[in-house]
Structure 1
Amino acid sequence: MDRFNAMRVFTRIVELGGFAKAADSLQVPRASATVLIKQLEAHLGVQLLQRTTRQVSPTLDGAAYYQRCVQLLADLEETEAVFSARRQNPRGTLSIDMPSGIGRLIVIPALPTFTALYPQIELEIGLNDRPVDLIREGVDCVLRGGPALDESLVARPLAMMDQLTLASPNYLEHMGMPSSLDDLGRHQMVEYLSSASGKRFGLEFQIGTELRQVHLPKRIAVNSSDGYFAACEAGYGLIQAPHYHAMRQLAAGTLVQVLPQLAVPKMALTALYPPHRQLSQRVRVFVDWLVQLCARPGTGLQR
């Protein structure tokens, strides 16, 4: 029995909650995964997993063994990287998740530079605004805008994104262009509903040292950034969004900046990953590349 391979299969089963998902993730036959776990349990003399018709979960011994396996596998990967060419040429699959706007407009167009530097890394990219359970879903790294909500993850700041207040020309034609906060009393907004926290977001303005929150009447609330922009372009009211996401609409004239004299609080962009992944060369080089990408002029992250 290859004990390290068995440990890899075991940890992925715990993280994904099933043999089939783990086998697919590691690209091994399900039968091979089942045999490895049986051999591992026989070798250790304990039951590691509880199997039901719906899910697989670790026993008390299995949970303790999982924690040790995670650390051992991370140490093994780091050791191999230090003493081999993999330090300069990391390889393997890197699973990442990010908001669709960041992915479509910034990261994916720039990815050829990353894949040219690291041709042996294969990327699996999820584009969505929903919260992701990195451990259970087998994701190595996520990018998120706003405050980091999970303190158990390692957070690497990438940028403080400039934000704008926006409206469609059609909306402004009917409602008029606001020139001050007082003018907003006769306007409406599109409400953003966070999939991660359930929080509802109105408008915010930085007036000196004071953060002024403004909640206007609404007819639509959405939980995705693309839907947020679509509702604004359709004339349902004001929105506030990062500058990078509005560059195309501003250039095309489908959206217009309003109240430019009133600052909107910047939004943090952060890379998050589980503590046991901070030793991974794949994660490290990708996050380092993201830091450089976000500092590059022309991305629209910072003006």
Structure 2
Amino acid sequence: MEEIQRLSPNKITIEQLDKLRIDMNQRAKRRKTIKQISLLFLNVTVALIILFPLFYAMSLAIMPSGEVFSTEFNLIAKNPTLENFKQALTKIPLARFVLNSFLVALSITFGQMISCSFAAFTFSFQEFKGKKVIFMLVMATMMVPGEATIISNYLTVSSFGWLNSYKVLIIPYLTSAMGIFLFRQFYMTFPMSLYEAAKLDGCSNIRFIVRILLPLTKSAIGAMAVYTFINAWNMYMWPLLVTGNNQMRTVQIGISMLDSVDSQSITMMIAGVVMIILPSITIFIVGQKQLVRGMFSGAVKG
């Protein structure tokens, strides 16, 4: 624009205007390219800083113990080996712990999908006295820390004789206020006329949930499934309290047993940690889009 202003109106030609327009477009493209490269460099730098502990853990997992306890700082294994993974699988029944965690996490995820969707349907489409009060009470349980109820829950399940069983690991977590809230907020985006039309066609409540609501709430289901599975996979305090033998321990409890095998077990323990975090990382990477979409899908109505 400055170049145009400096030129006299009588001297400006079409060729000069085209040239100035091309120059301005090129400058805008250069600024946009520089901005994109700067943002990319910043994102890569932050990602490397965040992922550095994970990369270093993977390097330690394939590193012989002699390299770890040397005077040199070895960031990358010079003599990579899989012996640490073999020792981790033989020193403790890690495969059994992984199987237990998979069964518990999948059962809790499936159970919360069913219970939370049914409860959210009730709070969204059904009318009854005290609905708002009950929903407020359900949401209030989110403010109660788990440590405040863990002793009473332990005494309850102990009186039932559920200790050292899958029941004690699964049943107390078959529903959650977070899941009910997430599904309810998503269901509130649907008009009541949808439910009324289904009832006029003779559709039952269960069929309405299974055949109509659930197919329309795939993003919320994906977000809830990823969130619930990762939380169930990483449970530590409750399984530590209610399980006492290797047949029922989960990976988060069993992996700590590698720390006391011998004084040179740091690489073996890291190898075990790498093996147990891979499933949760994989599920998060695969379902991250569903997680973000599901968390925000019910935030805006209209």
Shared topology, TM-score over 0.5?
no
| TM-score calculated relative to the size of structure 1 | 0.21
Q: Which has the higher contact order (CA 8 A, sep 6+)?
A: 2
| TM-score calculated relative to the size of structure 2 | 0.21
Q: Which has the higher helix share?
A: 2
